[in-house]
Chain A
Amino acid sequence: MTKTRAAGRTVGGLRTLSLQAPAVTLLLLWMIVPLAMTVWFSLQRYNLLMPEMTGFAGLENYRYLFTDPALWTAMGNTLLLVGAVLVITVVGGTLLAVLFQQEFPGRGVARVLAISPFFVMPTVSALVWKNMMMHPSNGVLSWVAESFGLPAVDWFSSLPLTSIIIIVAWQWLPFALLILLTAIQSLDEDQVEAARMDGAGPVAIFFFITLPHLKRAISVVIMIEMIFLLTIFAEIFVTTSGGPGLATTNLAYLIYIQALLDFDVGMASAGGVIAIILANIVAIFLVRMVAKNLES
């Protein structure tokens, strides 16, 4: 990689840095002001319902947050949710991409249908799943179960996190499919043909040609999905409200509870800071991994 020193170059006698300065300053303000305010609030005793209790709290908010068993449950749920959805969407997306690459009648329509769940708003898809699919008495799934003589499953009470994972995976699978399908289309047909001539079966072609070809696309899918999946909220809010108990409370929902149900701005900000740190840790590792993949 060749390194360029933007600050050193000049355009029309002006250093480029001075031209970039307004944009950079604006971006910094855009990012730093909310961040600084969050950090500031997290050090304050600030509850909307108790205006008489104010002042600097030091690390008290963090102390209460870290001794709260709900935080660890929420962290665990967040990672479980992100991990499970990633596995489902990447594996499912790859297989579907290979499938939809084949020639078959009505392929165009089938592709559009397979991709369409991604364009449904999260709240809407959560409502549809809650009331029309997973409802224990009116839902399609209970009807299917009953027509096989099985008892209806009360999804959101007996399998709460699994239900959320299913809904979120249903939404994000099309995204993975879309990216991977585009990638698979750039696969050199001659290469596949040559492999086939050498006697490679479809499984071998998939593992030795298609999969390595998709490596970059898969890492992009993982990175983008992870950023969005860390903040899943609407699906939980609409279906289970984080419950029963804490079974489906993730970090985003925990912060929501503290900010808008307990009106504890200090605690919620502390939670926000934790979330920022977590997201950054994840992002640093991911960016490294993806960058490495893209370079090679």
Chain B
Amino acid sequence: MKLTRALPLATLTAAVAAASQAQAQTEITVATVNNNDMVIMQSLTEEFEAAHPDIELDWVVLEENVLRQRMTTDIATQGGQFDVMTIGTYEVPIWAERGWLTPLDDLPEAYDVDDLLQTVRDGLSHGGTLHALPFYGESSMMFYRTDLFDEAGIEMPDQPSWEQVYDWAGQLHDPDNEVAGICLRGKPGWGENMAFVSTLVNTFGGRWFDMDWNPEIDSPAWQEAISFYVDLLGNYGPPGASSNGFNENQALFSSGKCAMWVDATSAAGRIYNPNESEVADRLGFAPAPVAETPKGSHWLWSWALAIPASSEKQEAAKTFIQWATSREYIELVGETEGWTSVPPGTRESTYANENYQQAAPFADFVLEAMRGADPTDSTLEPNPYVGVQNVGIPEFQSIGTQVGQTIASALTGDVTVEQALQSAQRATERTMQRAGYLD
């Protein structure tokens, strides 16, 4: 065939191919957590598919720990099973450094990157480039029952201290009426009890590692913080506290079984929602309590959507994550599900929105808490790591899980706090040696 005739034919074939490709549907697999906000995202699938007829969504919704295992094994072995992954501020910088995530440096003007909260954006960046888009963000705060506080004649100061919390818990603890003085996380796991315990240790003046990466888990500050935690939760906590995580505590608190609860700000939307909470009209909130230092007393976390570098459907995946983290999505949820259900903690514009301001009395408070948490400076003495409630190194998953287990066994009284911290210290030293941080 002569070239002159072949050329138009080739162009034609290319054009036909392009046209049929535009017609063909791209199916992307989205892996996400079974938290309420993500379940809402899944329920809005039709809205997305109607707006983007060429993309079809396939969901994999799992419990946090299981999801993390599946995603980590998939991305580390370059499996390419998922096109969109739901990961947190802990994973993003580590995975980005390994080149496992697609950098998001070409976001369109309309997405309005500058609207994202600065602390959240920093947490999801590596080398100054975003590697994931925030779906919702949270810090931690204290919730309490105003009716019980009024009855006991307690007034909540602007900034409660842990010492005061201990006193109040003692006054309000009423096991005969099934009301615990305080509910806190006790279920082991680096993302469960250790998220809370780390902030407690921070505010008691402790840290995970010194500047040479020597673990400091048996330091006096840790002893003091963990003894305090074990006493407080052991004396005035709900029964079975060592198996309560975020979800269990939320269920207890919203059914009126806790007088106080210190946990994620993202719970506020749900416990203020009268359809989901029996105590929605008797709620007060305050900043997370402090002890020695306000530094690191409240955490910073965000769940974000990222695209693994191994995905073959980059464009479609990008379209989806931009939609799910956009301003329009937040408005869509506000209108269809009610304004307390919108994903919080990601965009300044959410907090400027009048509808949200009206529905969520805690809005400004949460915004302040999120702005105030600094992962790069979270402890009284300097530390070599990034993170408030976690340490931004790959080994932390293992360390956090181990230490979490040990602290849970101190909570149930199997071992003394001192023994628990010593064995946690030894286990952490071993892990750090094995990973080559220590000789």
Interface pair B242/A48, CB less than 8 Å apart: no
The secondary-structure label for the interface of chain A is loop
Looking at A84-92, A152-160, A201-209, the stretch in contact with chain B turns out to be: A152-160
CA separation between A49 and B239, bound complex, in Å? 37
Interface pair A69/B423, CB less than 8 Å apart: yes
A residues less than 8 Å from B243 (CB atoms):
156-157, 240
Interface of chain B residues 404 through 425 with chain A (CB within 8 A): 405-406, 408-409, 411-415, 420, 423
Given contacts A49-B72, A158-B412, contact A261 B239 (CB under 8 A): no
Given contacts A136-B240, A152-B239, contact A245 B408 (CB under 8 A): yes
Interface of chain B residues 20 through 45 with chain A (CB within 8 A): none
Interface pair B72/A243, CB less than 8 Å apart: no
In the complex, what residue of chain B is closest to A52 when comparing beta carbons? Answer: B98
Q: Is B188 an interface residue (CB 8 A)?
A: yes
Interface pair B239/A137, CB less than 8 Å apart: yes
Q: Is B210 an interface residue (CB 8 A)?
A: no
Interface pair A244/B423, CB less than 8 Å apart: no
Contact of A263 among B72, B423, B435 (CB under 8 A): B72
A residues less than 8 Å from B4 (CB atoms):
none
Interface pair B394/A247, CB less than 8 Å apart: no
CA separation between A245 and B402, bound complex, in Å? 8
In the complex, what residue of chain B is closest to A241 when comparing beta carbons? Answer: B188
B residues less than 8 Å from A262 (CB atoms):
397-398, 401
Interface pair B415/A263, CB less than 8 Å apart: no
Interface pair B394/A49, CB less than 8 Å apart: yes
In the complex, what residue of chain B is closest to A50 when comparing beta carbons? Answer: B394
Interface pair B405/A246, CB less than 8 Å apart: yes
CA separation between A227 and B277, bound complex, in Å? 48
CA separation between A245 and B420, bound complex, in Å? 9
Given contacts A154-B240, A156-B243, A157-B240, contact A244 B412 (CB under 8 A): yes
Interface of chain A residues 34 through 66 with chain B (CB within 8 A): 48-51, 53, 64
Q: Is B177 an interface residue (CB 8 A)?
A: no
CA separation between A135 and B248, bound complex, in Å? 13
CA separation between A153 and B427, bound complex, in Å? 31
**B362-402, CB under 8 A of A: which get 1 and which 0?**
00000000000000000000000000000000110110010
- Report, as a range, how many residues of chain B touch the other chain: 35 or more
Q: Is A68 an interface residue (CB 8 A)?
A: yes
A residues less than 8 Å from B423 (CB atoms):
69
B residues less than 8 Å from A187 (CB atoms):
none
**B60-84, CB under 8 A of A: which get 1 and which 0?**
0000000001001100110000000
B residues less than 8 Å from A152 (CB atoms):
239
Interface pair B434/A135, CB less than 8 Å apart: no
B residues less than 8 Å from A51 (CB atoms):
76, 98
A residues less than 8 Å from B411 (CB atoms):
157, 244
Q: Is B430 an interface residue (CB 8 A)?
A: yes
Q: Is A242 an interface residue (CB 8 A)?
A: yes
A248 to chain B, nearest CB (A): 10
A119 to chain B, nearest CB (A): 26
Q: Is B54 an interface residue (CB 8 A)?
A: no
A residues less than 8 Å from B435 (CB atoms):
50, 53
Interface of chain B residues 166 through 182 with chain A (CB within 8 A): 178
A residues less than 8 Å from B189 (CB atoms):
241
Interface pair A64/B430, CB less than 8 Å apart: yes
A residues less than 8 Å from B76 (CB atoms):
48-49, 51, 263
Interface pair B240/A244, CB less than 8 Å apart: no
CA separation between A68 and B426, bound complex, in Å? 10
Q: Is A24 an interface residue (CB 8 A)?
A: no
Interface pair A136/B408, CB less than 8 Å apart: no
Interface pair B409/A247, CB less than 8 Å apart: yes
In the complex, what residue of chain B is closest to A51 when comparing beta carbons? Answer: B98
A262 to chain B, nearest CB (A): 4
Q: Is A257 an interface residue (CB 8 A)?
A: yes
Contact of B69 among A136, A241, A261 (CB under 8 A): A261
Q: Is A260 an interface residue (CB 8 A)?
A: yes
B residues less than 8 Å from A53 (CB atoms):
435-436
CA separation between A158 and B239, bound complex, in Å? 11
In the complex, what residue of chain A is closest to B188 when comparing beta carbons? Answer: A243
Given contacts A64-B434, A157-B412, A244-B412, contact A136 B398 (CB under 8 A): no
CA separation between A244 and B188, bound complex, in Å? 8
A residues less than 8 Å from B401 (CB atoms):
257, 261-262
In the complex, what residue of chain A is closest to B238 when comparing beta carbons? Answer: A137
CA separation between A152 and B238, bound complex, in Å? 12
Interface of chain A residues 214 through 265 with chain B (CB within 8 A): 240-247, 257, 260-264
A238 to chain B, nearest CB (A): 11
In the complex, what residue of chain A is closest to B394 when comparing beta carbons? Answer: A49
In the complex, what residue of chain B is closest to A60 when comparing beta carbons? Answer: B434
CA separation between A240 and B243, bound complex, in Å? 8
Contact of B409 among A154, A244, A264 (CB under 8 A): A244
CA separation between A51 and B73, bound complex, in Å? 12
In the complex, what residue of chain B is closest to A151 when comparing beta carbons? Answer: B239
Interface pair B408/A244, CB less than 8 Å apart: yes
CA separation between A69 and B426, bound complex, in Å? 10
A residues less than 8 Å from B395 (CB atoms):
49
CA separation between A264 and B394, bound complex, in Å? 11
**A142-163, CB under 8 A of B: which get 1 and which 0?**
0000000000101011100000
A109 to chain B, nearest CB (A): 36
Given contacts A49-B394, A50-B394, contact A244 B430 (CB under 8 A): no
A-B contact pairs, 18 of them (CB 8 A): A48-B76, A49-B72, A49-B76, A68-B430, A136-B239, A136-B240, A137-B239, A157-B240, A242-B405, A243-B242, A243-B409, A244-B405, A244-B408, A244-B412, A244-B414, A245-B409, A263-B72, A263-B76
Pick the 7 closest A-B CB pairs, nearest first.
Answer: A245-B409, A48-B76, A262-B398, A244-B409, A157-B412, A136-B239, A49-B394
Residue positions of A touching B, CB distance < 8 A: 48-51, 53, 64, 67-70, 135-137, 152, 154, 156-158, 240-247, 257, 260-264
Known: A51-B98, A261-B69. 15 other contacts (CB 8 A): A48-B73, A48-B77, A67-B430, A136-B240, A137-B238, A137-B240, A152-B239, A154-B242, A242-B405, A243-B188, A244-B405, A247-B414, A260-B73, A261-B397, A262-B401
